[in-house]
C-alpha cells in the first residue's frame, strides 16, 4: 500500500484535503495530513512530519509527500534527514498543487500504482484544466 502525506501550514487545510482525497480514493491508500506548528498556530513542524512519516512507513511500502509552500518543503526535507536510509529510500516529495495533487495521487495510488507513478500523476496536476472553454 502507498501512503500519502499532506503537509500544510494549517491543520484544518491538511485535514480538509485529506477528507476530500479519501472520499475519492477509498481505503486502498492511506492519506494522512499534518499542519500547523506544535502550538496549533500556522506553520509547519519537522517533528510532526517525522512522526507521521514514521507511522506511515510502518504500514506502507512507499510514501508520497505533498507539501503546500515554503517551509512545508523545508520542514519535510529536514524530517527526511531523521529517517534511516532504508526509510528515506521509500519517501518521495511531489512538486504538486497540494489539493489537486493529493486528489489525483490518492486515486492513482488506490489502483495499486508504484510510488514513481503516483508522484508523476500528482505532479501532472499542474496541468489540470478546470474550465474547458
Partner 1 sequence: MDNEHLDVTKAVAIIENIKEIIDANKEFLTRLDSAIGDADHGINMSRGFTKALEKVRSNQYNDIGAVFKDVAMTLMSTVGGAAGPLYGTFFMRASMKLSGHQEADLALLAQAFREGLQGVVALGKAQLGDKTMVDALTPAIEALEAAAKQGLPLKEGLKRALAMAEKGMNDTIPLVARKGRASYLGERSAGHQDPGATSSYLILKAFCEALGV
Given the rule CB under 8 A, which residues bind partner 1? 37-39, 41-48, 70-71, 74-75, 77-78, 81
Rounded to 5 degrees, what are φ and ψ at 32?
-130, 145
Q: How far is the CB of 126 from partner 1 (least distance, A)?
A: 18
Q: Pairing relation of β-strands 91-93 and 2-8?
A: unpaired
> Which of residues 1 and 47 has its CB atom nearest to partner 1 in the complex?
47
> Which of residues 27 and 39 has its CB atom nearest to partner 1 in the complex?
39
> Which of residues 81 and 86 has its CB atom nearest to partner 1 in the complex?
81
Q: How far is the CB of 121 from partner 1 (least distance, A)?
A: 26
Furthest-apart CA pair in the chain: how many Å?
48
Please state, as a whole number, how many other Cβ atoms lie within 10 Å of the Cβ of residue 50.
19
> Which of residues 29 and 52 has its CB atom nearest to partner 1 in the complex?
52
Provide the β-strand partners of residue 29. Answer: none
Cα 122 to chain centroid, rounded: 10
Cell of 86: 532504508
Q: How far is the CB of 78 from partner 1 (least distance, A)?
A: 4
Q: How far is the CB of 14 from partner 1 (least distance, A)?
A: 14
Amino acid at each position: 500500500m502507498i501512503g500519502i502525506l499532506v503537509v500544510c501550514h494549517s491543520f484544518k487545510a491538511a485535514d480538509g484535503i485529506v477528507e476530500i482525497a479519501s472520499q475519492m480514493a477509498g481505503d486502498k491508500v492511506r492519506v494522512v495530513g499534518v499542519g500547523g506548528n506544535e502550538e496549533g498556530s500556522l506553520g509547519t513542524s519537522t517533528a510532526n512530519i517525522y512522526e507521521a512519516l514514521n507511522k506511515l512507513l510502518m504500514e506502507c511500502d512507499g510514501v508520497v509527500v505533498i507539501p503546500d509552500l515554503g517551509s512545508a518543503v523545508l520542514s519535510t526535507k529536514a524530517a527526511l534527514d531523521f529517517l534511516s536510509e532504508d526509510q528515506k529510500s521509500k519517501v518521495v516529495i511531489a512538486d504538486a498543487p497540494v489539493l489537486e495533487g493529493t486528489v489525483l495521487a490518492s486515486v492513482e495510488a488506490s489502483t495499486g500504482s508504484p510510488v514513481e507513478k503516483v508522484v508523476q500523476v500528482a505532479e501532472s496536476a499542474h496541468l489540470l484544466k478546470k474550465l474547458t472553454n
